[in-house]
Structures are given as structure tokens and as C-alpha cells.
Structure 1
Amino acid sequence: MKLNILFTALFLSSLAFAQKTEKKNYQYINPLIGTQRMGHTFPGATVPFGSVQLSPDTDTIAYELNKKYNGKVYEYCAGYQHEDKTIVGFSHTHFSGTGHSDLGDFLIMPSTGELQLNPGTADKPLSGYRSAYSHANETATANYYKVKLDDNNITAELTASQRVGFHRYTFPSTEQAHIILDLMHGIYNHNEKNVWTFVRVENDTLITGYRQTNGWARTRTVYFAMAFSKSIKQYGARKYDENNIYKGFWRKFDESKNFPEQAGRNIRMYFDFDVKAGEQVLVKMALSPVSTAGALANMQAEIPHWDFDKTKHDGELLWEKELNKIKIETLTENDKVNFYTAMYHAFINPTVYMDTDGSYKGLDQNIHKADGFTNYTTFSLWDTYRALHPLFNIVQPTRNADMIKSMLAHYDQSVHHALPVWSHYANENWCMIGYHSVSVIADAIAKGNDDFDKEKALRACISSSNLKYFDGLEYYTSKGYVPEDKNGSSVSKTLEYAYDDWCIAQIAKNIGNKAVAEEYTKRSNNYKNVFDPAIGFMRPKMNDGTFKKDFDALDTHGQGFIEGNAWNYSLYVPQYPDELVKLNGGKEKFTQHLDSLFTMTLPDKYFANTEDITRDGIIGNYVHGNEPSHHVAYLYNWTGHPEKTQQRVRMILNGMYKPKPDGLGGNDDCGQMSAWYIFSSLGFYPVAPGSDQYAIGSPNIKEATLNLENEKTFTIIAKNQSPANVYVSKIELNGKLLDRTYLTHKEITQGGELVFYMSKKPKK
């Protein structure tokens, strides 16, 4: 009896210990994933959808870098490359995973010894304030980054709140401790980007100012308030010309030292402190889109204290809350790292864009206030309409509805009466093709997440679809296709416009506008106008109605496509997969075509004169690193071969996503690559956003529970799960056999249980 009591006590004790030491979901996040090669993610500190992304920059598009890469600076879109050996400093705004650069505002760098205000170069780091570092002394976790700056023996730590970056620097013993504020720095071309900067030293611990830039966003102004935990001993400033050469000051008196107000295009400042060995100097940098007063109010609202560890922990709790929306059990720890890091990357963008009182600068450059919603920016819509926003409609419906309200505010403020194409910081960049805001709106309405003015949304969609000057739309609306000799990338544009028109038709159907539904359904069939049945591919058509001669279906250059070739884009008719199968000769012939896509070998000539990174993300001729292919593996569901979808999906999951710095097979693109991973790991995917259906694939989890905002849960179980068991022998939904290859949104959001029975052998 005593022995049984002892065993029981030991069991309960071990159980309590296990529960006590169980890892939190946020502890599986690895922000270093995607920081090498093409992932273009950043490793620094941020909170979910945060306005501040405080992160190290190892280099940017500046100075000698342009010469080194002959103007090609594609690797530095996020400011950080894992292979670099030096850190320039820590800036407060970054894109996550994009293929274009901007931001990098307000770089801060601590240093010791003789003051240097030039960043120096990577090959001669001691020529400037940059410092060597080692990954052995680098830590990146949820809302926390730490690194030792070797050249100065300084430990740098970063964390953040929604609108405030928080720095902690531990100095060695020195009487020459500096903190540099570089207002020239940016993730773009420094010499062209800065328009104007202004700095004001309010007192011995508080600095305010702003920076106006002309980069990817044509006119962008960011305001700041910067506070020190320790009084400044002395401070100074330097002004530079367009060649980064110190040019001094033109006034009659010396403004370079202890002068409290600076204004100019290119300014760097320094702040000196007396420190003891091991002493920490903390810095808070609050941002605002409106004013320095707004920045200061943001700081006081979010981090009124100097407790760095509290801010770090508060951010960890915010990440834990978001990650708890999907609780998973996996075969390996690596799968958990991949999954929760994918959720982390998916929940970085879009970013909140307003002060704590709701004020923000609009597209019209006037100050607005978000009334009853949170205003967002950073809409990389050519990427994120495909899976990220559909994911939000399941696990972030309130945020997604607010994002649509933000898009409608953009429409109100647009002189073009257009929804966002690719917008950030009160600017429209007009980047990439399509008018994919309409897909985000259609998907939300189809899934009942439509707490916004749907009639207004339809008007905005129609207006966006008829901008005659935008990327060949004048020809598209009159001819039913974009002629290649009038507007490049013509086939890609025609196909994406046709899909978007289908989305507008779905909106019109859902709100009972029959006339618009009929008009846009007709437009949505324009994909047929660029299909050449003689060769079985989409092919550019000329203004006279003939197909382009000298056509190469494998080439990506000058053939009518963007970020893909004819093989990739000939599969882009997500709105009509059944018709696409028929267009390609029926189920078996189309199956063979898909097989060839995944198994063919691209000749080396198609990579001539390109960087090696263009080979990343490719399986055969399937390009997972480019979004137009993201639905392709699921098309086998329409050919009678869902087992091939299951096999291909698991192959992509295992091949394109790994828990290491070069573990992303392409740009994460504001979370789209990560959203693909999340959906596919759960076992389904939105092939045609704007529909309420999800195509079924092959789950990569043992079990997952979706904790929905309506307080219901949807549980997914994969029985007999293993690396070899990639095929689905049967599926049960709430105890009943699911005899189809799709789920509906309602079946998920009403709660329940989906059970996959996994097998080594395929079942057609």
C-alpha cells in the first residue's frame, strides 16, 4: 500500500514538473528563419501586426554595396543577411519577406572610443561605426533580439511594443560611450531617399523629430520621440552631402555641438554618456505617422516605464495569445518550429498604422482618425490575397474586417477612386499587377466576415477594375485581353484581371446585384482569349488579334508573363478549375501536364545571366517561390487524382520549409509563403479566394485545434500520421464520411472535428 502511494506521489510530482516546464508556443518561434538568401525576413523584435519592427541591419543599398552588386541589391530588402559579418545598427521599420526595399527608419548604434559618424564598409568595418558580430553571440526569439557587438564589447538588446522600440545597451567601462542616431540610413538608396530631416533636443533625456523620404513610397513622413534612461553628457550633429561627405554648417555659429535644433537632408547625430563597467543605457524610440506629440503620447501610453524585461514579456504574451488560435501536435519539434514561425511571420503584416488615439495620415496626406476600426497599412496584395487574408478570415476575422475598412478608407482618400494595389505609409506604390483588394473583399463576404459597407465595397471594386491607365486595363476592358505589343506581361495581367472580375461577380451575387454579377461573370471568362489550343498554353496575343510569334513556353523574359512562364501561368484560372481541365484536354491529359510540371528539368540556359538565388524555390518547373503557382498542387483534386495533390503537398512542405536561416524557398512576401505552410499543414487550402471552399490536401500535423473568435473549436486529427503516410484513405467530418475533396468555411467556423486517416498507399 505504501509502495502504491509512493508511486502515485512520484507520478503526480513528475506530471506537475512536466506541466510546469512545458514550452509555450511562442518559444517555438525562430525569427532567423528566412534571413538567409531569398527569405527576406528580419530577425528583430516586433509584436503582432506592430507598427515598429526593431531589427539589426547588416547592410543596405548604400555606398559601395551598389558597386559590389552592380546595382542589384535584391538580397537586402529586409536590411539583414545572415551571411554578413558586420552590423551597421538597429533601425525601427522593416518589411517582412518582400521583394522590394524601403523603410529602415531611425538607425541607432552604440559605440565606444573615438567617435565615428560614418558607417564604414563591410570590407573595412573599423573605418566606421559598424561592428563585427558572431552568430554564436546572437539570440532571436519572439519580441527579443540580442547580440554582442564585438568591436566595442557592447551587448545590444532589443524589444518592442506596438509603436515603441526599446533598446538596452550594456557598455564596458569607458568615458567615451556614444549612441549614434543616423537619420540618413534607410533600406533603399540613401543618396536619393532622404528629402528632409528635423531633430530637436527637448532636454537632456528627450529628442524629437521627423524624417521625410522619397523611396518606394514617393512621400513618406515618420515622426519620432526618443528618450534616454540616462542624462546626455554632450551631443552633436554632422551634415553630409549626396556623396556621404561631411560638409559642415553654413551658419555664423557652430551648430555641430550641443545645438538643440537641426534640420537638413542628411544628418547624423551622436549622444555621449559617462558609463561605468557593465552599466546599461536604455533608449525608447516611439513612432507616429502624425506628429512628434503623437509619438510622445504613444510612448507614454505603451511604455511609460524603464522596465525592459517587462516590455519583452508583455510582447511574448501577445504572441502567445495569437499563436493559441491554433494549437498543434506534430511528429517532430522541427515541425512545431516551422509551424509557429510561419504563424509569427503571417501575423507581422499588415501593420497597424495609427496613433493610440486613432489618428493617422491618409493617402490624401491629410490627418484622419479611424472611427470604430483599427487602421492598417502594408498591403502586399498581389501576394497576400491568395492565402494570408483567407487565413485571417478563419483565425483573425475581426482584424481582416478592419483591414478591409482600411482599404475602403484608402479608396475614399484616393484621387483615382481606387482600392489599394500595394500600399504602405499613406502611399500607393502601384506594384505588381491585378486589383486584388477585390479578392480580399470577396473572400470576406463569401465567408460571412463582412462587418463593413458591402454596397460601398462593390462600388470601390468596380471603380478599381476600370482604371483605364492602369497596366493595360483600357485594352482589357475593350478587347477582352491585354495586347503584348501595347503593354508587357500581357498574359499575366489578362489572367489576373479575369480572376479579379470573377471576385467582383461573387460580391455582386452575394448582395443581390444581378446586372453587375452578369457583367463581371462575362469578364471573368476573358482568360480564354489568351489560350492557344494549338500549343496548349496561354500565349501573348498582339493588338491585331494574332498570337505572338517566336514564343518559348519555358522562358520568363519577354514572353508575356511576370514572375513565371507559360507553364506556370497556364494553370492560373483559379476561378474555373473544371473549365481549365477541359481546356487542357480533359482529366487524364491535364494530370500528365501537371506531372510534367513537377518532374521536368529546366535547361541551364533559362538561368543565364541571373543570380543563383533564382533557382531557389523550384521543383522541376514548379516555382513555389513565386505566388502564381501556390494553388497548383491542389489542381489534381479536379482531375480525379487527389492522391497526387496529397503527395505533392507533403513534398513541398518538407522541401521548401526548414527550421534554419535559409529555410524558406522564396520571399515570405508579408506572410503569404507562411500562410501556404499553415493551411497545407492543416490539410486544406483556398484555391479560389472569393469562394467558401477549401481544397483538401494532406495534413502535416498529428492534431490541431483551431480556437475561433466565435468561441467554437475546430479540431483536425490525422490518424496513423508518419513521414511515409502522406496519402489520405478516408476523411470523416463530425463522425460522417466526407466523400468530396473540399471543405466549406461554415463547416470550419461552426466547430467540429475533421479526421484524416493516413496511409502509405494512395487511394484514388
Structure 2
Amino acid sequence: MTTPAEANATLSPLILADLSDLPDSRINGSISVDHSTGRISGSGTFSPSFGIGSYTLHFCADFQGAAIRDTGVFMNDRAGSEPKNLSVMQDGVNNSPEILPAGAWTRFHAPNSNDKSILARVGVSFISVAQACHNAETEIPTFDFDAVHTAAQDAWTDTLSAIEVTPGPGVEASLQTVFWSGVYRASISPQDYTGENPLWQSSEPYYDSYYCIWDSFRSIHSLITIVDPVSQIRMMRSLIDIYRHEGWLPDCRMSLCKGFTQGGSNADIVLADAYLKLGSIAQAQGVEWQTAYEAVRTDAEVEPANWAVQGRGGLTSWKELHYIPTDDYDPYGVGPFTRSISRTVEYAYDDFCIAEMAQGLGYMADAQKYFGRAEYWR
């Protein structure tokens, strides 16, 4: 029989940090481990989950709870204690689709605490490894799990306290679980990446994970406008700033990358909704509605070369035929030549929202034109 002391002596916790992501989209990566502290840090370049381009994410992981026994790196199913760093990239020579597991590891002596736990603190950044370490150290200065847990609970309580529920007779208690779970999930994205955008320098907020506006305009954004208008206003400033630097509003965006469009240019709807409900308040908090109107009008009037990721395609047919044909002739750009009915309906609604903005801003000729185009769904 193994005594507790003997079991404790053989306990050797091992932490592996794999540079692969769940969909195996890694393009390249690098990782290192500090032999004295066990810190694992590195970077990986990946493809977005629903868009074009690539993004690089940096990370930094520190540990507490036991002395370091040894460290090293691994590739595929082999590991060694030397070297202490590793770089990997796609096999461009053989055009191999296989992305092998690769990363670093830290192994510990038996934890000296009674609960036998190893605590991990992980920071991430789109800027650099140093910034990832700084983010972790700033947000979690000590390895106090209970304090972090309490802070997270307090933050969510503060966020969700904008809503109150009064239970009524005949309503099952489980319905509240469903309701609060939905409100919680509706508060996760878009995400505030301010200070973590390496693409351009700006004093404006930067939000990411507009995933995707052709869904979220119907639900999440209209809810956020009511229960968290401050965040919604910052998101509108971010959308407008994306337009300033990239020339188009996103219809979907994640991990600094342009996401695919589905039908219309639905950031027009989000901006119009915020304009009608938060107009003067938002303007006082930094939203430039004139630039916002310029952005939505660009969506309505200018066809981009690639309307698979921004703007609208088939605008010539839209303006001349008043609908999008199934077999549209569109030599002006490329995109998904599908969804002719849903694109027709969405363009009409997008133009209706632009008309509402035009009317409020005093562009009466534009308002008349876009209210007319809003009838094209017929």
C-alpha cells in the first residue's frame, strides 16, 4: 500500500503549452520556457475563424504552488529538456496540411501546499510578449485565486445589475437560469481591445469580435443600447474609427481581421439604431455622426472590389433594377453571387436605416432617396 507521503513524493505536475489552436489554423509560432521560473511565453500567427488574413497573438504564463523540477520543449510526440525555445511554421515545401503539436512544458516537484494545486496566471496581447506579461502582472498582481474570483463575480454583478427580474406565479425558476445565462452571453462580445490594436494608432476605443453584425444587430446590440449605453457608444466610436482607417464598416470582424459578409451592410443598422436612441448623448461622448453618415452612405453608393468582406455587391442592379437578380451581372467587384432574395431584402432595410439617419441630420434629399430605395423589397 502506498502511503500519503510516498504518493506525495511521486506527484510531479506537468503543464504543456501547445502552440496549436482548436481549428489547427496555425501558420507559424515560437515559444520559450524559463528554466528557473518555469514561465512559458511565446507567439502564434493564426487564420481567423470566419474571414481573411491572419493575426498574431502573444502570451505569457506564470505558475505558483511548487518548485520547478525541469522544463523543455516538445514537437509532435517527442519532448526534451533542451533547448528551451522552439519555432515552427507551415510546411511550405511539401504543401502538407498537417499541423503538428508543438510547444513548451514545465514540470514541478510535488506541491508543498495541502491542496496540491498549481496556480497559473496567463496574459495575452496582440502587441508583444512583453505586453502580454505586463497585462497579466497588472491585472493579477498576486496569485490570489479567491480575490480574482471575487473580482470577477463583482464585475459581472455590476454588469447584470442593470436588469431586475420580478418572479411571477406559475413561472418555473429554471426560466431565470435561462434568462440570466442569455444576458451573460449577450455581454461577452463585442470585446474591448482598446490599447491592443497593432494595425493603427488612434485615441479612439477599439472593439473586436463583431461576430457577426448581420446577426447581432437584431439582438445583442439593441439590448446593449438599452442596458449598457456607455459600452454601445464606445462600440460606435470603434466602428467609425475602423471606417476611418480601413475605408469600410465591418459586417463581421474578429481577431483584427475582416470577416465575411452575408447579405447587406448591417453596421448601417447598428449605427442608425444608436443614432436614433442615443444621438445627442453619444455625440457628447465622442461619436462623430457626420463621419458615421459618410460611412453608411459609402456602403449604399460605392461597391468595393471585394464585397465578400465589406460593403455591398450588385449595387448597379440595385439602383437600376431595384432588386438583385439570381444571376446578377456584376463586373465591378467579387463576392458571393448568392442570396439574391435575402440581399434584396437586407439592402432595403439598410437603406431605410440610412434614410432615418439622413432625415435626422438634415439631409432631406438623401432621406427621400433612401426611403424610396427602402421600398425595393417589393
Q: TM-score, normalised by structure 1?
A: 0.42
Distance 1:176 1:434 in 2: 55
Distance 1:256 1:407 in 2: 47
Distance 1:460 1:483 in 2: 26
Give the RMSD, CA atoms, in angstroms.
2.1
What residue in structure 2 maps to residue 375 of structure 1? 206
Which structure's residues are more often helix, by fraction?
A: 2
Residue aligned with 1:222, SS: strand
Give the deviation of 1:367 after TM superposition.
4.3
Change (3 A) 1:205 1:235: closer
Contact 2:15-2:106 within 8 A present in 1 as well: yes
What residue in structure 2 maps to residue 448 of structure 1? 278
Cα shift readout 1:20-67 (whole Å, capped 9, x = no counterpart) = xxxxxxxxxxxxxxxxxxxxxxxxxxxxxxxxxxxxxxxxxxxxxxxx
Identity of aligned residues (%): 24
Change (3 A) 1:384 1:215: closer
Residue aligned with 1:209, SS: strand
Contact 2:26-2:47 within 8 A present in 1 as well: yes
Structure label with greater radius of gyration: 1
Structure 1 stretches lacking a partner, 5+ long: 1-170, 241-245, 249-254, 529-764
The reply on whether 1:410 has 2:242 as its aligned counterpart is yes
The reply on whether 1:339 has 2:175 as its aligned counterpart is no
Question: 375, 382, 397: which one pairs with 2:229?
Answer: 397
Question: 336, 342, 351: which one pairs with 2:191?
Answer: 351
Contact 2:58-2:127 within 8 A present in 1 as well: yes
The reply on whether 1:223 has 2:53 as its aligned counterpart is no
The residue correspondences of 1:656-675 to structure 2 (distance < 5 A) are none
Distance 1:505 1:210 in 2: 46
What residue in structure 2 maps to residue 437 of structure 1? 267
Distance 1:439 1:407 in 2: 12
The reply on whether 1:462 has 2:297 as its aligned counterpart is yes
The reply on whether 1:238 has 2:69 as its aligned counterpart is no
Question: 176, 181, 185: which one pairs with 2:12?
Answer: 176
The residue correspondences of 1:599-618 to structure 2 (distance < 5 A) are none
Contact 2:31-2:40 within 8 A present in 1 as well: yes
Cα shift readout 1:706-760 (whole Å, capped 9, x = no counterpart) = xxxxxxxxxxxxxxxxxxxxxxxxxxxxxxxxxxxxxxxxxxxxxxxxxxxxxxx
Contact 2:32-2:104 within 8 A present in 1 as well: no
| Amino acid across the alignment from 1:291 | S
Give the deviation of 1:483 after TM superposition.
0.8
Contact 2:16-2:103 within 8 A present in 1 as well: yes
Question: 67, 81, 85: which one pairs with 1:261?
Answer: 85
The residue correspondences of 1:545-560 to structure 2 (distance < 5 A) are none
Give the deviation of 1:403 after TM superposition.
0.6
Distance 1:468 1:413 in 2: 15
Give the deviation of 1:173 after TM superposition.
6.0
Contact 2:263-2:339 within 8 A present in 1 as well: no
Cα shift readout 1:524-565 (whole Å, capped 9, x = no counterpart) = 11101xxxxxxxxxxxxxxxxxxxxxxxxxxxxxxxxxxxxx
| Amino acid across the alignment from 1:394 | I
| Amino acid across the alignment from 1:181 | A
Change (3 A) 1:268 1:359: closer
Contact 1:239-1:264 within 8 A present in 2 as well: no
The residue correspondences of 1:679-698 to structure 2 (distance < 5 A) are none
Give the deviation of 1:219 after TM superposition.
0.3
Distance 1:173 1:389 in 2: 54
Give the deviation of 1:300 after TM superposition.
1.7
Residue aligned with 2:57, SS: strand
Contact 1:359-1:367 within 8 A present in 2 as well: no
| Amino acid across the alignment from 1:335 | L
Question: 129, 141, 164: which one pairs with 1:292?
Answer: 129
Give the deviation of 1:368 after TM superposition.
2.8
The reply on whether 1:420 has 2:262 as its aligned counterpart is no
| Amino acid across the alignment from 2:166 | E
Give the deviation of 1:179 after TM superposition.
0.8
Distance 1:378 1:501 in 2: 25
What residue in structure 2 maps to residue 384 of structure 1? 216
| Amino acid across the alignment from 1:404 | M
Change (3 A) 1:477 1:428: farther
| Amino acid across the alignment from 1:314 | A
The residue correspondences of 1:467-478 to structure 2 (distance < 5 A) are 467-469=303-305, 470=307, 471-478=313-320
Contact 1:173-1:278 within 8 A present in 2 as well: no
What residue in structure 1 maps to residue 43 of structure 2? 210
Change (3 A) 1:344 1:286: same
Distance 2:296 2:128 in 1: 33
Distance 1:352 1:422 in 2: 15
| Amino acid across the alignment from 1:299 | A
Give the deviation of 1:231 after TM superposition.
4.1
Runs of 4+ in 1 over 6 A off after TM superposition: none
Give the deviation of 1:206 after TM superposition.
2.1
What residue in structure 1 maps to residue 322 of structure 2? 480
Change (3 A) 1:468 1:207: closer
Give the deviation of 1:468 after TM superposition.
4.7
Give the deviation of 1:178 after TM superposition.
0.9
Give the deviation of 1:185 after TM superposition.
3.0
Contact 2:322-2:376 within 8 A present in 1 as well: yes
| Amino acid across the alignment from 1:436 | N
Contact 2:40-2:105 within 8 A present in 1 as well: no
What residue in structure 2 maps to residue 104 of structure 1? none
Give the deviation of 1:280 after TM superposition.
1.1
Give the deviation of 1:257 after TM superposition.
2.0
